[in-house]
Amino acid sequence: MYEMTTDEVLAALEAGEELVLIDVREQEEIEAGHMEGIVHIPMGDIPNAVDSLKEHNKKYVIVCRSGSRSGNVTMYLRQFDIDAYNMIGGMLDWRGEVIY
């Protein structure tokens, strides 16, 4: 499985690794707290974003509340050879800064 723990994501960001954080939660969930620098693409909009994500050839970390929705999105994106990783534990386990 293509996964990263919240601690691994935080360590990678602190080390300056280039990650694109895609939060797939709904708008009201984003407003309740999110990671700095996210790209917000609700889960239902992911199919429309596939082509643009493929163009950038980046490492994507997919984020949701607990890691369930993001796990599904990660597996979906992997079908298109997109370098995506599920942040297991999601925002519930995130120990880094939260923007409100």
Q: Which residues are catalytic?
A: 64
Tokens of 14: 């602190």
Handedness of CA 36, 62, 89, 19 (dihedral sign): negative
CA distance 86 to 72: 8
Decide if 13 contacts 97 (C-beta within 8 A): no
